[in-house]
Amino acid sequence: MGSGGGFEPVDWIWRDGEFVPWNDAKLHLLATAVQFGTSVFEGIRAYDTKRGPAIFRLDDHVGRFRKSVELVGLPLTQSDAELRRACIEAVRANAGAKVVKLNAFLPSVEVDVVPVDDHVAVAAAAYDPWEDVQARKQVPPARAPRTVRLWLEKERRQRRPDILHPHAKVAGNYTSAMYAKWQARRHGYDEVLLIDAQGFLAEGPTTNFFLVDAGGVLRTPPEHGVLLGVTRMSVIALAEAGGLEVLEEPLRPEALFEASEAFLTGTSAGVWPIASVDGRAIGSACPGPVAGRLGERFRRAVAGEDPAFVSWLTFVNEVG
């Protein structure tokens, strides 16, 4: 895997049962997946543990991937077992991988939005996005800040289930969120928090949102209007295991400024404490005590150090 200067792209991408070199894993500019935004994907973390590399909640990620494919209507023929095997083999083939990107896409060049050639290709790429991709560009690795300065979306309502369900991780579902995050960056913020069609707080472009109210209750938007985040699900389980009350309910934007603390969760972000929203500090300290405890227990869980949650890990060297 890449390590900066003198980088040589020797890693491999699994595609339809075979490995191809990174630079040969290409798609035509006019492919259906590119022209119509129909590529379904899943981001999955791989972690270093004392038992070797481990994939975090692989079955749950494959299940969410399957649900996305069904919501979009792609005629995927691979079984869940084949999808899991693709991810495991990709991690084995690429030492030091931190992320697995599982993709299902229509590679054929078509005139209509409904393809004549409906073969759905599947690819699994295992790599370190903070090192490998940056090394290819010959620029320093980009890492997220330790805490996040959040911008609240002001212009557009997001997450319309009557158009494309927010549970679907499909390329076209991210275009509006990309625009919103770009605007936030241009205003000097790290991330944007999206608002749903009813004016309630929703999520970040690739993260879920939590706040802790004045009574110490952990609150998060209900799952019907947000992506079913695997890290979100894990943090809820960790919170409940620690005796913390968790409520899933609609949250108005003003609830943010009444919170004692708030944080985002995601595959890449983990538990990401929110320092401020629109320049206004959240709580008296960042990270707050709840985010600190959950972040530490999440770190232990993904490292295989918490026996209560070791079942979340697939140890790739122990799979036959």
pLDDT digits (tens, 9 = 90+) for 259-313: 999 999 999 889 999 999 999 999 888 999 999 999 999 999 999 999 999 999 9
**Angle, helix 80-93 to helix 58-72, in steps of 10 degrees:** 120
pLDDT digits (tens, 9 = 90+) for 39-50: 999 999 999 999
Token pair of 275 as six digits = 């320092």
pLDDT confidence of residue 16? 95
pLDDT digits (tens, 9 = 90+) for 91-114: 999 999 999 999 999 999 988 888
Q: Does 62 score more than 90 pLDDT?
A: yes
Instruction: Return the C-alpha torsion angle 133, 134, 138, 142, nearest 10.
Output: 170
169 against 239, higher pLDDT: 239
162 against 292, higher pLDDT: 292
Pick the CATH number of 12-137 from 3.40.50.150, 3.30.420.130, 3.30.470.10, 3.40.50.2020: 3.30.470.10
Q: What percent of the chain has pLDDT over 70?
A: 90
CATH 3.20.10.10 boundaries in the chain: 148-302
Instruction: Tell me the average pLDDT across 61-90.
Output: 95
pLDDT confidence of residue 77? 95
5 against 230, higher pLDDT: 230
Q: Which residues are catalytic?
A: 169
84 against 114, higher pLDDT: 84
The per-residue b/e assignment along 10-32, b for 16 or more CB within 10 angstroms, e otherwise, is: ebbbbbeeebeebeeeebeeebb
Q: Does 11 score more than 50 pLDDT?
A: yes
205 against 136, higher pLDDT: 205
Mean pLDDT estimate for the chain: 88
Instruction: Tell me the average pLDDT across 29-54.
Output: 94
Q: For residue 164, what pLDDT band results from cuts at 50, 70 and 90?
A: low
Instruction: Tell me the average pLDDT across 227-241.
Output: 96
CATH 3.30.470.10 boundaries in the chain: 12-137
* Helix, strand or coil, per DSSP, at residue 262: strand
Residue 111's CB: how many other CB atoms inside 10 A? 10
Nearest C-alpha neighbor of 127 from the set 28, 268, 5, 27: 268
Q: For residue 134, what pLDDT band results from cuts at 50, 70 and 90?
A: low
Asked if the 148-302 domain carries CATH number 3.20.10.10, the reply is yes
pLDDT confidence of residue 135? 58
Q: Does 138 score more than 70 pLDDT?
A: no
pLDDT confidence of residue 139? 57
pLDDT confidence of residue 81? 97
* Helix, strand or coil, per DSSP, at residue 65: helix
Q: What percent of the chain has pLDDT over 90?
A: 69
Q: Does 198 score more than 70 pLDDT?
A: yes
